[in-house]
A = this chain, B = another copy of it.
Amino acid sequence: MARKPGKGRSEGSRPKNGAASRKLEGLAQAVVEMARKKKDPEVLIPARVLSNVAFNEKTRHIEMGSAKQSRNFFNYGQAKRFMQTLLVGSKCKELVERGKTASIRQIYYMSKHSIKGTNEKTFDDQNESDPILEDLEVALDSLREELHVFADTRGNLGGPITLIDAGNTIDCTATGSAGYAVPSIVEPDVIQFKKCEARFILHVEKATIWRRFHEDGFWKEHQCIVSHGQGQPARGMRRLLRRMHDELKLPVFVLMDCDPWGYYIYSVIKHGSINLAYESRRMAVPDAKFIGVSAFDYERCEMSDDVKIELDQNDIKRCKQITEYPWFADRRAWQKEIQKLLQNGFKMEVEAMISKDLEYLTKEYVPAKLKDKKQWLD
């Protein structure tokens, strides 16, 4: 069943490049307007503090609340940050207008200079400019990618999908032995889906495991996309998973190590992260399912004790932390899973499955997991 995404939908959901530009202009215009009216110019920034973050039970997103902080020009404590906000905003505007993109480090170098007639620098280091960029994202309700700022590139995929990336048509069944490299900016003005014959997405933790699936012909046999994020997936990979899920209606299955870090990576893909709660709405995939490795698999799959890796104090502490996150706390199956991990006293890697046979993971373990909904953790 080839699925050609309807033209209407993909155009409809495409944030126009002009939108970011208009939002940036709007921010500046409002400041000019206030100055003209002899009011103290201010910028309103949604509060990026833990107390303004909550788990939305209905959407199952980690979301920001509605609290806002104002940043004023005629306020000794806020004037510098006010100036920095407008400065970074103007650099983003420049990027959008020149049709260029820059990394957060490059934004820092572009924005840093001495203020005329003083020895004062606009920024002392990147720790100052990064949060300003995040402020802008929430204030304008735009992802940084829409402001033409890119993050780390990390993650690859393979499978029966053809996409257009920066004008290049890319058939992801034929991108070589490391797969298609997912860029940082995957917004619809850069990446369009041309054709998709995949039925679902399997997202794995590591490149080495991805290679196992790729080499064993998994995506061909199961008509699916296999992706990896080299650990915690970068923003580009998360956003692309979300877009493929939404626009191509592909279910997402997640395969991670059986340890608290694997569980947490899954939860970031599914619900979003606490740090960057404002982006969940655009990046999280609340329907994603965890298919393994589960702490119950040790007995179920009759593993040998060669695969046990003892939990250390750090693992145990992290288990206790994540048990209390609302998105794990309200799920009985997850509470059982974490309890079982602690009770086992050992963690397991996805690679553990290879101790049975090189192909056990791709020919038996995952196919069986995919077939049996009772094995999924939600």
Contact = CB atoms under 8 A, between A and B. Distances in A.
Interface of A: 94-95, 98, 100-103, 105-106, 108-110, 112-114, 121, 150, 152-153, 156, 165-166, 168-170, 174-185, 190, 207-208, 211-212, 215-216, 304, 306-307, 349, 351-352, 354-355, 358
Contact of A180 (B109, B176, B216, B354): B176
A307 B109 contact: yes
Contact of A175 (B170, B216, B358): B170
Main SS at interface, chain A:
mixed
Contact of A207 (B153, B211, B215, B354): B153
Contact of A168 (B175, B216, B349, B358): B175
Contacts of A358: 94-95, 98, 100, 102, 106, 110
B109 A352 contact: yes
Contacts of A150: 208, 211
Nearest to A355: B109
A94 to B, nearest CB: 8
A98 B357 CA distance: 12
Contacts of A216: 100
A207 B5 CA distance: 31
Given A109-B355, A110-B354, 17 more contacts: A95-B358, A103-B208, A106-B208, A109-B351, A109-B354, A113-B355, A121-B306, A150-B211, A153-B178, A165-B176, A165-B177, A168-B174, A170-B174, A175-B175, A176-B180, A177-B185, A179-B181
Contacts of A152: 207
Contacts of A349: 105
A110 B208 CA distance: 14
A212 to B, nearest CB: 7
Most B-side CB within 10 Å, residue of A121, A207, A212: A207
A114 B181 contact: no
A306 B354 CA distance: 52
B208 A181 contact: no
A241 B169 CA distance: 26
Contacts of A153: 156, 178, 207, 211
Nearest to A208: B103
A238 to B, nearest CB: 15
19 contacts: A94-B358, A102-B354, A102-B358, A103-B208, A103-B211, A108-B351, A109-B351, A109-B354, A110-B354, A112-B306, A113-B355, A153-B156, A165-B178, A166-B176, A170-B174, A170-B175, A176-B180, A177-B185, A180-B181
A236 to B, nearest CB: 8
B105 A351 contact: yes
Contacts of A169: 174
Contacts of A166: 176-177
Contacts of A215: 100-101
Contacts of A181: 156, 175-176, 178-181
Contact of A355 (B112, B179, B184, B190): B112
